[in-house]
Amino acid sequence: MARKYKSNKKIFLLLLFVIFGLLWQYAFSLLEPLDTSGQAPDVLFQVSPKSYTVEIAQKLEQQKIIRSAKAFRLYARYHGLDNQIKAGYYLLNPAMSVEEILNHLVRGKTATKTFTIPEGYTLKQITNTLANKGFIREELFTDLLIDGEFNYSFLQGLPRGERRLEGYLFPETYSIALDSTEKDIINVMLAGMDRQIKELKLEEKAKAQNLTLHQAITIASMIEREARKDEDRALISSVIHNRLKIGMLLQIDATVEYALGGHREKIYYRDLEIDSPYNTYKYKGLPPGPIAAPGRESLLAAVTPAQTKYLYYVAKPDGYHAFAETYEEHLRNKAKYLN
């Protein structure tokens, strides 16, 4: 009888062990990816501010991203992640495990959208680019450009108006959160310019050239619109600096284009008569402000011009420029490259 009892006990313990193992295996299976085919599309998932884990878990299960809301909650609680999930939009996939999903939600690896602003774009072109992508409401974006509040020292003293931020939205590729507002987008581009100013020590180098930061960025914008090759940037900068020193008209075609309101394939003599402070064929010195968004190389060239005696340049068919010290030499270059 005792032997039979011991035998039954062993069978019972073995059965209990098997059941426990199966339950344990099942519990862990609930943490595995819902989809194992690798063919499931990404799902845009929103975590609202102040959401509780129970709400997030239920929503994940409802959107068929995880197997079990309860398993998700228990796993988050066990690892002390209950109150660490961050609000935002996330691109999740049913092929992700609960651990991977929580890693995204806790680290705030939110879904982003990307846009690229080319060097030399004007505010109008930047606005059109973002509006065409559906990233902004154009009217609100334009209003913010005119009189929005942005906390950057380099904007202090700039007069409010439609051209206030011209040249100050740094051109590069940006990745931003899906729920970014118009102000967020302007801020991220201003932060891009702030980074360049600091990394290049632009303000210090501008002072060494007897320029304000605003004047340096204005020169950089003209270089950006005139230069096609990096090697020409410091040389074009030298022409601008040399002309400024002797009080000579800058006579930069790109400023006339800006005064006319957009790109021109060709500048005619009648265009040079437009009465605008941006017309450097008519008014001496620098225009009131930048005419486009300068890139890093143009910003640097503006405050580190090449040491030359050049006063003239003309574009060549290969994209480079021919430079000259005298008007006679310049005329010869024009006859050579423009005919």
pLDDT profile of the chain (339 residues), mean per 10 = 57 57 59 82 88 93 92 91 88 91 89 93 96 95 93 89 94 91 94 95 97 97 96 97 97 93 74 89 95 98 97 94 96 89
Residue that finishes a domain, picked among 107, 134, 151: 107
Residue 95 domain flag: yes
Q: Are 275 and 293 in contact (CB under 8 A)?
A: no
Residue 293 domain flag: yes
Residue 5 domain flag: no
The predicted structure's pLDDT at residue 32: 87
Q: What is the number of structural domains in the chain?
A: 3
Residue 37 domain flag: yes
Which of 89, 88, 178, 185 minimizes the C-alpha distance to 140? 185
On whether both 50 and 145 belong to a single domain, the answer is no
Q: For the chain, how are helix, strand and coil distributed in percent, rounded to 5?
A: 50, 10, 40
Residue that finishes a domain, picked among 148, 175, 198: 198
Reduce the DSSP state of residue 2 to 3 states and report it.
helix
On whether both 218 and 331 belong to a single domain, the answer is yes
The predicted structure's pLDDT at residue 11: 62
As a whole number of angstroms, the longest Cα–Cα distance in the chain is 124
Find the domain containing 265 and state its range. Answer: 210-337
Residue that finishes a domain, picked among 61, 89, 107: 107
d(CA 38, CA 266): 54
d(CA 72, CA 57): 6
On whether both 319 and 237 belong to a single domain, the answer is yes
Q: What are phi and psi of 9, to 5 degrees?
A: -65, -40
Sign of the CA dihedral running 158, 263, 127, 223: negative
CATH number at residue 103: 3.30.1490.480
- pTM of the complete model: 0.79
Residue 21 domain flag: no
On whether both 37 and 85 belong to a single domain, the answer is yes
On whether both 328 and 240 belong to a single domain, the answer is yes
d(CA 332, CA 253): 19
On whether both 42 and 64 belong to a single domain, the answer is yes
The predicted structure's pLDDT at residue 20: 55
Residue 102 domain flag: yes
